[in-house]
Structure 1
Amino acid sequence: MRGHEQPHLKGSVMGLRFIFMLTRNDRTVEDAAQQLQTALSLGVRHIGFKDIGLPISQLKALNAAIKAGGATSYLEVVSLDRDSETASARAALDIGVDMLLGGTHAEDVLPIIAGSSIQYCPFPGRIVGHPSVLEGSIEEIVDSARSLAARDGVHGLDLLAYRSKGDVPALMMAVCKAVSKPVYIAGSIDTPERIAIVKEAGAAGFTIGTAALDGKYPAGSKSVPVFVHRGTLLMEFRDREETVREGEFIVIPHGVEHRPAASAGSCEAVVIAPA
């Protein structure tokens, strides 16, 4: 990983929001507090955890540390039954997170968080098991996405795209086209190529847990992911210019000619590449 400072260029297209999840196998990791400090030191500004794996007191402390570090906090619900999910929604209020991701019982969660500042992004489709798996056809998942996005109090969707067995790129594109609210992609996004597919589908961002913690990205990949640590990065290609803001990702495909630049002053970026 290394930082870069570049001169000025104009850009037009936003990057992806990178949400770093302090999780593995749908559980918050025991060393979440240590992992958090590493993430904050790299400039990550969207950081989340699950509602299982650590006691509520430690999750509160984790949330406080995320906010003290200037980052937005996310709680992703793992529970699938109604009672457990409503308990998780109440925990989100108690912990004080900024965003609540996941869950399948929006009709029960929305009254609980009504009047709070929490932004809510439930799972579309049929979710089963632990780790969670997304089932159903693209048409069924799109119908679910439309129904959820139409609800007041739903700010976006948490799509478990890479936990489905069908055509994942087609699923992501169909859901993103079907709704006007932000779609965040979850699942095993463990290669730069998958990040690029997420961007092409029109998603607003993506979550990474295990893949980042286990250091999978450098292995066998020719594409180069770039994470903006501070400032705004402008990436100029022959056919377009893209703007990547603080806390966002861009993936440079192998062999594609490009030129990075900073919007104003300096930009610090982390390039993830083989050592």
Structure 2
Amino acid sequence: MAVNFVLMLTEKDVTIPDALEVYEKLAVDSLRNIAFKDVGADRQMVQDLTDAAHADGRSVLLELADMSDRGQEQGLQLGVDLGVDQVVARWRADFADALATDGAPEYWPFLGSLSGSPLVLDSTPDELAAQADELSRVGGVGGFVLMPYRQSAFDAVALVERASAAATLPVLVAGGVRDAEQIDDIAGAGGWGFTMGGAALAERHGDPESVSRRVTEIMRLCEKVPARQSGATRTEEKVK
């Protein structure tokens, strides 16, 4: 696949309460990756969701939305306890050390400085490229998450291009991806993939089958777009 899609079972940076129900109604065999966040996550529900996705041969990513030190530490432990495949968190060297063990989730740190709620990216292109280059050489790091559409100071596609060119690990674009043009841009800029949550889930209450239709269309778009040589394709695929 030219670019990878991660379905976020979230809205407004919170895991939706009906995430398991939505997942169980999905009728899209080609979808390989799902995700949810620590905020709003009912412990038993997300355990059942993780187990169901794994039973279906899918990969599970947990994004830590609570950016406080305590929240990040609790979220990391949640990811380990659930047995997810990737944990997305702030960059912390101790997290890389903790997850650099056999059987632990992969650590995919956010690139750049983030603040606010919802999160806003505050870093420059040069800062993002330098961090991507540096952390690509750190043991325990499996990939990166970049939020280029959560800022307005720089061209979002240029940020993806700079980070992807500097990284030798996959770069996953998160936050604000809504349409085919963005998907094409992300692939062309060298991004490994992208997440989408609310834009894929918005009509589910009135039309439960809308999620499957939307995901099917997104997967079709992913298969069509050309991918540029990047950290996403120079390395062995990290997410199954």
With normalisation by structure 1, the TM-score equals 0.72
Where is the helix percentage greater, Structure 1 or Structure 2? 2
Q: 1:98 & 1:184 partners in 2: Cα distance?
A: 14
Greater C-alpha radius of gyration? 1
Give runs of aligned pairs for residues 163-202 of structure 1, distance below 5 A. 163-165=150-152, 166-202=154-190
SS of 2:141 mapped into structure 1: coil
Could you tell me which of 101, 120, 123 is aligned with 1:136?
Answer: 123
Q: Secondary structure at the match of 1:60?
A: helix
The letter for the 1-side match of 2:61 is Y
Distance in structure 1 (CA, Å) of the matches to 2:225 and 2:100: 37
Displacement after TM superposition at 1:147 (Å) = 2.4
1:250 aligns with 2:236: no
- Choose which of 104, 110, 124 in structure 1 pairs with 2:90: 104
The more displaced of 142-151 and 61-70 is 142-151
Deviations 1:93-147 (A, max 9, x none): 001101112x213213123323134122110100111211111211112222222
The separation in 1 between residues aligned to 2:68 and 2:94, in whole angstroms, is 11
Match in the other structure for 2:219: 227
1:114 alignment partner in structure 2: 100
Residue 52 of structure 1, aligned match among 27, 30, 39: 39
Within 2, Cα distance between the matches of 1:190 and 1:84? Answer: 28
**Equivalent pairs, count:** 212
1:84 aligns with 2:71: yes
- Conserved? CA contact 1:157–1:181, under 8 Å: yes
8 Å CA contact 2:144–2:172 kept in 1: the answer is yes
1:64 deviation in Å? 0.8
Cα distance in 1 for partners of 2:129, 2:225 equals: 27
- Structure 2 Cα separation of the partners of residues 28 and 214 of structure 1: 13
- Alpha-carbon separation, structure 1, partners of 2:39 and 2:191: 27
CA distance in 2, matches of 1:22, 1:56: 15
Distance 2:134 2:66 in 1: 21
CA RMSD of aligned residues (A): 2.1
Residues 193, 251 of structure 1: 8 Å contact kept: no
User: Residue 154 and residue 21 in structure 1: after superposition, are their counterparts in 2 closer, same or farther (change >3 A)?
Assistant: same
> Are residues 1:73 and 2:65 paired?
no
Which SS does the other structure have where 1:162 is aligned? coil
Structure 1 gaps, min length 5:
1-13, 219-223, 229-243, 253-275
Structure 1 position 65, deviation (Å): 1.3
Q: CA deviation at 1:51?
A: 0.8
| Other structure's SS at 2:147 match | strand
Aligned CA distance change for structure 1 residues 206 and 249 (closer, same or farther; 3 Å): farther
Structure 1 residue 73 displacement after superposition:
0.8
Structure 2, unmatched stretches of 5+, are 204-209, 211-215, 227-240
For residues 148 and 82 of structure 1, the distance between their equivalents in structure 2, rounded to whole angstroms, comes to: 20
Q: 1:159 to 1:82 in 2, by over 3 A?
A: same
Report SS of the residue matched to 1:187.
Answer: coil
Runs of 4+ in 1 over 6 A off after TM superposition: none
Identity %: 30
Residues 85 and 109 of structure 1 are in contact (CA less than 8 Å); yes or no, is this contact kept in structure 2?
no
CA contact (8 A) 1:82 1:108 kept: no
Shift of residue 160 of structure 1? Answer: 0.9
Could you tell me how far apart the structure 2 residues matched to 1:160 and 1:83 are?
Answer: 22
> How far is the alpha carbon of 1:251 from its aligned partner?
4.6
- Offset of residue 42 of structure 1: 1.1
